Structures are given as C-alpha cells and as structure tokens.
C-alpha cells in the first residue's frame, strides 16, 4: 500500500511539474509574441515624426516592435556610452553622434546625416512684450533655452546669443531646460517671455508664435545623424528599421513635421 501511495504521489508531482513548465513556456511566448523588440534612443524633438514612422513600419513588419527612448541627445549618448542596451541612436547633434563613433560603438558606414532643422525664437501667443526679432530679446525678463552641455538646441541657442554678443548680457535671465520640449512648455505656460527652440517643435504648438529664425551663420549646422549600435543582438531587424527611416515614405513624414531632407 505504501508503495502504491508513493507511486501515485510521484506521478502527481510529475504531472504538476509538466503543467508548470508548459504554463511557463506559454507565458513566455505570450509575453514575447514571437516579436523582435528594438530600442531606439532618439532626440525628443523627433518624437512626433518617429511615432508616425513606427506605426507604418510595424504595419509592414509585424514581427518587429519598436520602442523609443526619447530625451536630450547628450544624456542619451552618455547612457549608450555606459552600456545601455540600445539598437539605434538618432541624435540632434553631430558631436554627440561622433562621440559614439570615436568610442567604436557605431561604425561610420552604419550611420547617415538624415534630416536638418532650424532654430527659432518663440513667445507666448498672448504675449504683450514687444519682441519682434532676436535683437529684441533684451526686452525679455526671462528666456528659456536647453542646457547647452546636454541639449543640442541649447548649444545652438548659446552659440547664437554669443555670436550676437548678447550672451553675457542675458546670462542671468536664462532659464535652462532638460530638453527642447521643456523650453516650449515654459513658453506656452508664460513662465518665460521667450524661448529658443527647433522650428519643428514650434510648428506643432498652437500656444506660441514664431518671431524669427536664427541665421545659419550664428550657430553650427543643425544636423540629425542616425546609426546602428555595434554588436547588436538583432542586427538584421535594426538594419531593416535603419533602412526604413531613409525611405521616401519616412522622409515625407519628416518633412510634414518641418524637418529638412538631407539625403
């Protein structure tokens, strides 16, 4: 009898263990859905355009799921340098991208200068300040720009103010932001009198007015390079998305949001 009970007990344990494994395997498959997941670190100013591109890409490539990590290009570059698991980097500045090339994290042949942008001066729609040009920034009590060390738009803004001999005069009035979208928010809410942001961001806001664009000779060229990180787990799928960003359909989306086609 004892042997019989022991055999029954062992058989029950085996059945339960098998069911557990089957359940675990089913759960893992359900979680993954059989899809390859890509992580793309991209400048926050690309958010709207890239979300549209993601929709069309995933419709055509049902086996690939794209996840974005949006932020300031400098912060994203540092994350990748420190080992963050990323498949592609889409920067708003060449120097941040070149840093990863220098560190052998991106091969030059696996990168391209894809789109460009403009730097513009914006004020709140209901502003009563008489700001009609970049020179009129001296009339503003508070001006927001991105933190120059980590935010390319802030770097371009600082260069513009320096080349206009306004930076030292206005330094105490500058309100620094973590990225260009935060600059835009400060202007939209009236927390500052003016801000320097990308044209693409300004065009998507109904709460600000574009006053002027900074001339190209006042700052470095605004170029957005994109590239694949070396030693990828999903190199085939990363190349698929990298190539898709360069298609005519994708370029039309970028242009719709105000970016310049640099291809």
- Mean per-residue pLDDT over the chain, rounded: 90
121's tokens: 């001066």
Residue 174: domain span: 119-218
- Whether the pLDDT of residue 133 is over 70: the answer is yes
Examine residue 13 and state whether it is found in any structural domain, yes or no.
no
User: What is the tens place of the pLDDT at every residue in 174-194?
Assistant: 999 999 999 999 999 999 999
Across 235-243, average pLDDT: 97
- Comparing CA positions, the residue from 185, 221, 189 lying closest to residue 197 is 185
Same domain, 99 and 57: yes
Residue 153 counted as an annotated binding residue: yes
Same domain, 203 and 127: yes
The DSSP bridge partners found for residue 39 are: 67
Examine residue 19 and state whether it is found in any structural domain, yes or no.
no
Mean pLDDT check: name the lowest of 1-15, 30-44, 79-93, 241-255: 1-15
Examine residue 21 and state whether it is found in any structural domain, yes or no.
no
Look up tokens 């004020």; give the residue. 123
Look at residue 33 in the predicted model and tell me its pLDDT. Answer: 56
Across 205-212, average pLDDT: 96
Do 223 and 96 form a contact (C-beta atoms < 8 A)? no
Same domain, 127 and 209: yes
- Comparing CA positions, the residue from 195, 65, 189 lying closest to residue 119 is 195
21's tokens: 């494994």
| pTM score of the predicted model | 0.82
Examine residue 72 and state whether it is found in any structural domain, yes or no.
yes
Same domain, 195 and 124: yes
Q: Is 2 exposed, middle or buried (0-12, 13-18, 19+ CB in 10 A)?
A: exposed
Same domain, 57 and 112: yes
- Whether the pLDDT of residue 196 is over 50: the answer is yes
What CA–CA distances, in Å, run from 14 to 7, 9, 21, 102, 145? 11, 9, 11, 55, 65
Residue 57: Cβ within 10 Å count: 21
Residue 242 counted as an annotated binding residue: no
- Tally of domains within the chain: 2
Pairing status of strand 194-198 against strand 143-146 = parallel
More confident residue, 112 or 233: 112
Residue 244 counted as an annotated binding residue: no
CATH code for the domain of 190: 3.40.190.10
Element (H, E) at 122: strand 119-124
Same domain, 112 and 228: yes
CA distance 179 to 45: 9
Residue 45 counted as an annotated binding residue: yes
- Whether the pLDDT of residue 6 is over 50: the answer is no
Residue 156 counted as an annotated binding residue: no
- Whether the pLDDT of residue 20 is over 60: the answer is no
């Amino acid at each position: 009898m004892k042997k019989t009970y022991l055999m029954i007990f062992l058989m029950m344990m085996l059945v339960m263990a098998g069911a557990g494994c089957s359940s675990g395997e089913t759960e893992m498959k359900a979680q993954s859905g059989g899809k390859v997941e890509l992580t793309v670190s991209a400048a926050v100013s690309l958010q709207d355009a890239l979300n549209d591109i993601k929709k069309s890409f995933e419709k055509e490539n049902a086996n690939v799921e794209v996840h974005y990590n949006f932020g300031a290009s400098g912060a994203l570059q540092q994350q990748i340098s420190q080992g963050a698991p990323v498949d592609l980097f889409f920067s708003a500045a060449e120097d941040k991208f070149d840093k990863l090339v220098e560190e052998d994290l991106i091969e030059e042949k696996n990168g391209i200068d894809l789109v460009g942008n403009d730097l513009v001066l914006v004020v709140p729609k209901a502003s009563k300040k008489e700001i009609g040009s970049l020179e009129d920034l001296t009339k503003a009590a508070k001006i927001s720009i991105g933190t120059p060390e980590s935010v390319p738009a802030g770097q371009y803004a600082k260069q513009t103010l320096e080349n206009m001999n306004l930076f030292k005069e206005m330094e105490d009035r500058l309100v620094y932001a973590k990225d260009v979208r935060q600059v835009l928010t400060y202007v939209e809410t009236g927390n500052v009198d003016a801000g320097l942001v990308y044209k693409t961001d300004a065009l998507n806001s109904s709460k600000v007015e574009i006053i002027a664009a900074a001339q190209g000779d006042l700052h470095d060229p605004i170029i957005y390079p994109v590239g694949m990180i070396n030693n990828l787990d999903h190199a085939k799928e990363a190349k698929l998305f990298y190539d898709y960003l360069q298609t005519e359909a994708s370029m039309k989306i970028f242009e719709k949001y105000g970016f310049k086609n640099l291809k």
